[in-house]
Amino acid sequence: MGRLGCTVSGTVDDSRFSEPMPWIGLYVVAASAACAIAMALDAFHGFRYRKFWFPCKFFALNATTLTLIGVAVKLSVDLNTSMPRPQDQLAKLSSTTFICTAIGNSMPSLGTMETKELMMNVVALGILVVTVIVNVCIQLGTGVIYVFWIEHAVIMFLMLVLFAILISSSLAIPVTKSYLDLKYNKKFKVAEKECSNSCNTSITRKLRNDLMRYWMMAHTCNPQFVTGRLATCIASGAFCLLGAMVLAEAILRSYLMPWCFTFCNGESDYRWSTTLILVTQSVAVGGGTIGPALRWFIAIKFMCPKKTKKSYKIGFSSVEKYWVQILRQLKDCPLNLRISGRHGRKLVHNAKNKALDLCILIQKAMVV
């Protein structure tokens, strides 16, 4: 009999290392289900109260949701566990697609954050996105992921695009919120003035008019309402929908056209839990796509009615200044670096300006 954790020969006894894996899979299922329920509640809340920008009441970007997302994408970052069966490979894909859906759903919540909190959450999400993409690429190279190469490539591209959209929106939100404060104060003064001038009307009508005015102020100056109506936030719905379609295509093709694939024999260490993960995350992706996709469809219907003679000017000149105001302020701000030599300071200053000019160009391209 060997020591605890060792065989008779003294080597490590790894025969029981994989026993907890199905229960770890259940942990992933629980985290995915929690996110799915939160996203479904946000969609239900939007339908019930006719808030078709679908504000983030339950699934906002914060430490809790980032932790849940990190747990839910466990399979995407698992580098060495064998995943031979169809449901195992599909669970890898659904785990990656889940991040795209989470980013699209949580985007309106950026409007409620302070600048420091916004920056920290975006950086934390960026670390998670980069980690997942790097790990998926490693698995594609080592053969852990041996099917659905094109689907994984498309999903990773969509993930990068959605994260770029998130960064683009976060750059505009602080300036937009300052505009909101000014507009709200102006509307509040106008409403108070009109309320004081309507002393001759009946009490019921006056109360109704006052309620309508204050409701309109609260409605149009809601940070999540404004964030949800940003061009970048609306566009995220299209990419979320595309990601869900890629996952649906892979699932349908693997089960309806099995002759197109050659899957390996054997069983994953996660065993029966991978099926639960696949089902839960597929439901989460499907339910979580409702809000962003409808946000996009409604915006298209509003911007492109059937009978219109108005043509919209599309170009960099049409981008509002609040999208790039922070970047322009950074460009105008001098560097607090002590560099000896006039040529060295000039070189660093020019490099900073060129880099920020490129960022401004990318930001405008994202908006357009």
Q: How far apart are the first and last CA of the chain?
A: 70
Specify the number of domains making up the chain: 2
Q: Lowest mean pLDDT of 11-25, 94-108, 341-355, name the range.
A: 341-355
Q: What is the pLDDT of residues 105-155, one digit of tens each?
A: 988 888 888 888 888 999 999 999 999 999 999 999 998 898 889 999 999
Q: What Å distances lie between residue 106 and 66, 163, 233, CA to CA?
A: 10, 11, 10
Q: Helix %, strand %, coil % for the chain, to 5?
A: 75, 0, 25
Rounded CA separation 277/30 (Å): 9
Structural domain ending residue among the three candidates 303, 328, 349:
303
Rounded CA separation 222/138 (Å): 43
- Please choose, from the candidates 107, 161, 15, 273, the residue with its C-alpha nearest in 3D space to the C-alpha of residue 153: 161
Asked if residue 273 belongs to a domain, the reply is yes
Judgement on whether residues 124 and 253 belong to the same structural domain of the protein: yes
**CB–CB of 158/117 below 8 Å?**
no
List the domain range (segments joined by +) for residue 110: 21-170+223-303
Strand partners, 6: 12
Angle at which helices 115-142 and 63-72 pack, to 10 degrees?
10
Judgement on whether residues 234 and 362 belong to the same structural domain of the protein: no
Q: pTM of the full predicted structure?
A: 0.78
Judgement on whether residues 116 and 230 belong to the same structural domain of the protein: yes
Helix (H) or strand (E) holding 233: helix 231-256
Which pLDDT score, from 0 to 100, does residue 277 have?
Answer: 93
Asked if residue 208 belongs to a domain, the reply is no
For residues 334 and 199, the model is more confident at 334
Judgement on whether residues 297 and 328 belong to the same structural domain of the protein: no
Judgement on whether residues 59 and 163 belong to the same structural domain of the protein: yes
Asked if residue 137 belongs to a domain, the reply is yes
Residue 13 has φ and ψ, to the nearest 5°, of -90, 105
Judgement on whether residues 137 and 77 belong to the same structural domain of the protein: yes
**CB–CB of 71/78 below 8 Å?**
no
Judgement on whether residues 124 and 160 belong to the same structural domain of the protein: yes
> Model confidence at 308, in pLDDT bands (50, 70, 90)?
very low
> What value does the mean pLDDT take over residues 192-201?
61
Judgement on whether residues 342 and 246 belong to the same structural domain of the protein: no
Q: Is 310 helix (H, G, I), strand (E, B) or coil?
A: coil
Which pLDDT score, from 0 to 100, does residue 123 have?
Answer: 93
Asked if residue 178 belongs to a domain, the reply is no
Asked if residue 341 belongs to a domain, the reply is yes
Asked if residue 297 belongs to a domain, the reply is yes
**CB–CB of 331/353 below 8 Å?**
yes
